[in-house]
Each structure stands twice: as structure tokens, then as C-alpha cells.
A and B are shown apart, each in its own frame.
Chain A
Amino acid sequence: MKVLIVDDTRLARQELKTLLKPHTDIVEIREANSVDSALAALAENFPDLLLLDIQMPGGSGFDLLEQLDQTPAVVFTTAYDHYAVKAFDANALDYLVKPIDPQRLTQALTRVRQRLQNQHTAPEPTPARLTAKSQVFIRDGDQCWFVALEDIDLIEAAGNYVQVSFRQQRAILNRSLNALEERLAPTLFYRANRSCLVNLQRIKNIEPWVNEGYLLTLRDGQQVEVSRRQARQLRSQLSL
């Protein structure tokens, strides 16, 4: 397991390294002391686990996650603002309070290992193209989620932003639809029309529609029209 520790305090990073020492399956530990240096470290080599401090100068741990196209497993480390973490989708997030109890760290690492094993079947993600198991960090107002791409039903353009539907929830993401499409594998997400990206595996029903187009019904009940131009592409993609 490869770990990246992000904390602005040298002693806090040192303490984490000491605590990680007994865990022999950790083959690499790197450190970053700010959001910027963490971004650089992530671009250079994608870790399996991010141990992330929440309060940092020049941006919080959440700000860092928001800038990532995909996130590794994340465990937050915090001195006192664990209430900030608790407000979020509880089962997706883990956090440790400082000073860290070694037993709690062991528990958190066990959970991460289980997650990594589940993902092992998927091909290694590369920064360029994401896979179905890649998880993204979504923040909308006070709410945050970690969502695997395979759990996203639909991505719709909404001005300069996009609206993402997943697990019966919706959130606004500060990205453009075109930028997102570039990063998503076409075998995963299909551009149904000018303003929609549809998860191919979440399509339940396809019916012919006006102008030689199609009407897609998704598993969550949403319906999406496919334009004539895009219909041809859908046919070829599904015949593959």
C-alpha cells in the first residue's frame, strides 16, 4: 500500500510515520505540507491512501479533494474539527482524531485494505482515464460524498456547472461537461445529447423517439433524449 500524508505540521507527519511503521504492507510513505504540494505529489504518483489533515493554510483538506478528478481512499486526521467530517456521508468517510490512537489507526487501515481488494479486479487507474471503480469527491454546500463512477447515473450540464445524479441524490459540481467528458472513458459514459452524459451501465430501456432518435430510461427512472447524430454512435457502441 502506498500512502501520502498531507499535514502542515512537521511533527504531526512525523508522528503518523512512527505510527505507520508496524504496518509492514505499507511500501511507500510520502509527505506533503500544503494543498499545492499534495497536488504535485498526487500528479507524480497516485497513492492508495491519503491521510489528510483538514485544517491547512492555503486551503482545507476538502479543497484539495475537490480539485482531484479522482480520489484514492481517504482517512481524515484532525485535532478537533471532527464535527466537520461527521456532517458528511458517514459510511464513506473515516477520520482519526489527534493524538491518534494506534488501535483506531489499525482499524482504519483494515477498512482501507478491504476496499482496495474490492477494487483490485478493475484495471489500474491512470490519471488520464478513469475506471468504473474510480471514486470522485463531490461537495455541494455542506454536504460531501465519495462516489464511485459506476454509481453515477447521469451528468447534466447546468450553465458552467454540471449536475450529477447518483444513489438517488443530486449535487452540483463546479466543472464543465466537456472537461468531464474528456476524463471519462467512452465505454463508461456516453454523450446522449448536447447537455447530457449517461452511464451506459445504468440504462434500463431504449425506445425509438422522434427524428430517428432514442428515448433512454435510466434505472433511477430519469429519461434522456438521444439526438439523431448521437443515436448512430450509440448503435455502434452497443454493437461492440
Chain B
Amino acid sequence: MNNKTDNTLNRQLIQALFWGGWTTLYVLASTLPGYPLKSGFFLIAFTVGVGCWGASETLRAIALKRSWLQRPALQLLPRLGLTLMLLAVGVQVLVFLVLIPSWGLGWVSLPEGGPDYRPSRVLMYWFNTLFMLGVWLASWLVIESRARNRRLEHQRLEDEVQRRVLELDSLRARLNPHFVFNALNNVRALINEDTERAREMVTRLSNTLRYALQHTHEVSVSLEQELAVVEDYLAIEHVHYDERLHVIRRLSATAMSAHLPPMLLQLLVENAIKHGVAHNPQPSELVIIATVEQQALNLTVTNPGTLRQTREGVGLAYLRARLKTWSAHAAFDIHEHQGLVKAKLVLPQERDS
């Protein structure tokens, strides 16, 4: 707010200097030897200066409000040119309206014969004004486009930083170190106890890690693909939690071919285990439901537990960021009801372009 006021002040100062300077030059030119010094020239110079100040501010306001500067040059230049011509007419009309009464009432003096409004003269006055406004406009366009480029560059860098932070967060969320190290520890024990199962676990753990690392940059995967890795993940967690983890799947056939951003269902299942199953000494039922309703994939993951009202972890932040880029109508909701935490994703299958 303050910054904006400062900018406006600065601009008006520059405007005053620009048009003040021009008025002074005009007056100086009229006092050259050989010309009779008339007070009317001062009035004309002053009125033109004030008029041009107003005209340039008007042009700027119109150009910014209608975002002309975002248009290609071919559309921009005729618009600016036409407006400029009209504004130059306006300035000359203003001069006429001020000068004629002032001269008529004898407030100012003019060379003999009074105001010179022959057509050729009028055209010259107008052209002079147009020229001055043109100089102003050219300077403004250069300054404005430089500032715009700086803003765009700044924005680009900021977006880049934001993207990097998100990527790092998501990597941490996807690798889930607690899960990985527990899995490795369990595999170590299984090697002595059940070699076949240990070998299977190594394969499943590899699948989980590979998926987490490789599919980040993909925009969408089919639910069938995503479920394959969720199943690998659940098999590993089943070894860890034994009879404490029961998974119930209700997956409609149409849902299997629906698409979603990678890792989202995986994240919900991981959260259900990390915050639900892990804290429950009793067997927990983890329910995964997938349906397609009104062209949208509905995914629901339910687990017994309580929703802690502390800040959301990196996983959910990642999920929300992925949803935003998926579709404006994508939705996520998590709530607790009667000892069950229910996370629900709605993903429209027709994506915004």
C-alpha cells in the first residue's frame, strides 16, 4: 500500500518535471529576440503543459485498465496512436477554451490580430501536441516494458523456488524413511525365517521405491497402475503389522481405468497406516473404495483413529498441490466421524487444458 503511494508520488514528480520542462522550453523559445513578448504565450504554454499531463495520465490509465500492453505490437500501436490523436485534439480544445475568454476579457495579450486559428495553424498546433505526447508515450513504454520484464523474471524465479521446495517435500513424503527402514529390518529377520517371503519382500520394496522415484514427473497414471504399487506397499506393511492390518477393497471396474496424479492414493493409504493402524493396538480395518460418479473418480480411504488438528504434513501439502494442477474441480476432504478417519478424493476425469 505504502509502496504504491510512493510509486504514484514518484510518477507525478516525473510528470511535473517532464511537462514543466516542456512548458519552460516553450516559454524560453517565445522570448527569443525578434519575437514580441506576449503574456498569451505563457498562458498557452501553461495550458498545454497541464493538458498534456492530464492526457498522458489518461492514456496510461486506459492502457493499463484494458491491458493493452499485453497485446502484440500490431494491436497495441493503432490503439495507442488513435487515442493519442484524440487526446491531442482534447488538449488543443482545452487551450482554445481557456485562451479565447482570457483574451476576450483582456486578461492576456496576444500579437496583433488576436488568436491565430487558421486551419494550417490549427493542424500545426495539434501536430506539436501530438509530437510531445508521442515522446512521452515512447519513454513510458520503454520504462514500463523494462519494469514488466523485471517483474516477470522475479515471478519466474519465485515460481521456480516454490516448485523446488515442493519437489523436495514430496520426495521426503514419498520415500517415507520410517517405512523403508522398518521394511529392511523385517526382511533381515525374514531371511532366516522364510527365505521365499524375504525374496518377495525385496521385490515389493523395490517396486514401491522405484514407483515413488520414477513417477513423480508423470502427470497422470491409471488407477490400475497406482493400485499395483499400493498392493506392494500393503504387502510390506502387512508383514510389519501382521494381524493388526486388515485391508478391505471395494473397487468398481470402471474406476480401474480412471486416471489420477501418481502417488495420491498411495499417500492416503500411507497416512491411514501411519496415523491410524500404527497407533491402534487392536486390529484395524483399512477400507479403500474407488468408484466413478458423474465422470469423476471418487477415492475413499477409511481407517480407525482420530484426526489430529495439528498442521498438515508434507504429504497432504503435496497432495493439495497436485490436485490444483489436475483440475479446478478436483477436491480433497478429510474428516473424523465416530472414531473413523475418512479421506476422500474427487478427481474429474475431464481435465482442464
Contact = CB atoms under 8 A, between A and B. Distances in A.
B41 interface: no
B268 to A, nearest CB: 20
A80 B181 CA distance: 7
B188 A15 contact: yes
A79 interface: yes
Interface size class of B (residues with CB under 8 A): 20 to 34
B332 to A, nearest CB: 26
Contacts, number: 58
Contact of B186 (A11, A18, A55): A11
A98 B185 contact: yes
Interface residues of A, number: 20
For A12, A79, A80, the residue with the greatest tally of chain B CB atoms inside 10 Å of its CB is A79
A61 B177 CA distance: 20
B192 A58 contact: no
A80 B177 contact: yes
Given A79-B178, A81-B178, A98-B182, A14 B189 contact: yes
B73 to A, nearest CB: 58
Contacts of B186: 9, 11-12, 15
Nearest to A100: B185
A220 B278 CA distance: 44
Contacts of B278: 55, 57
B193 interface: yes
A97 interface: yes
B181 A79 contact: yes
A186 B320 CA distance: 61
B181 A11 contact: no
B280 to A, nearest CB: 5
Interface string A1-13: 0000000111110
Nearest to B239: A11
A19 to B, nearest CB: 9
Contacts of A12: 182, 185-186, 189
Interface in B42-89: none
A18 B189 contact: yes
A80 B178 CA distance: 5
Nearest to B183: A79
Contact of B185 (A8, A15, A58): A15
Contact of B241 (A9, A80, A98, A100): A9
Contacts of A10: 242
- SS class of chain B's interface: helix, strand, loop or mixed? helix
A22 to B, nearest CB: 14
Contacts of B177: 79-80
Contact of B182 (A14, A18, A79): A79
A34 interface: yes
Interface in B160-189: 177-178, 181-182, 184-186, 188-189
Given A15-B189, A18-B189, A99 B241 contact: no
Contacts of A14: 189, 192-193
A34 B280 CA distance: 11
Nearest to A17: B189
Interface string A28-45: 000000101000000000
A11 B244 contact: no
B55 to A, nearest CB: 66
Given A11-B189, A15-B189, A80-B177, A99 B281 contact: no
A8 B282 CA distance: 12
Nearest to B244: A57
For A18, A36, A57, A58, the residue with the greatest tally of chain B CB atoms inside 10 Å of its CB is A57
A18 B192 contact: yes
B69 to A, nearest CB: 52
Contact of B240 (A11, A36, A97): A11
Contact of A34 (B190, B192, B240, B281): B281
B279 interface: yes
The 7 closest A-B pairs by CB, nearest first: A15-B189, A98-B185, A79-B181, A11-B189, A58-B281, A57-B281, A80-B178
Interface of B: 177-178, 181-182, 184-186, 188-190, 192-193, 239-242, 244, 278-281
28 contacts: A9-B186, A9-B240, A9-B242, A11-B186, A11-B190, A12-B185, A12-B186, A14-B193, A15-B188, A18-B189, A18-B192, A34-B281, A55-B278, A57-B280, A58-B279, A58-B280, A79-B177, A79-B178, A79-B181, A79-B185, A80-B177, A80-B178, A98-B182, A98-B184, A99-B181, A99-B184, A99-B188, A100-B185
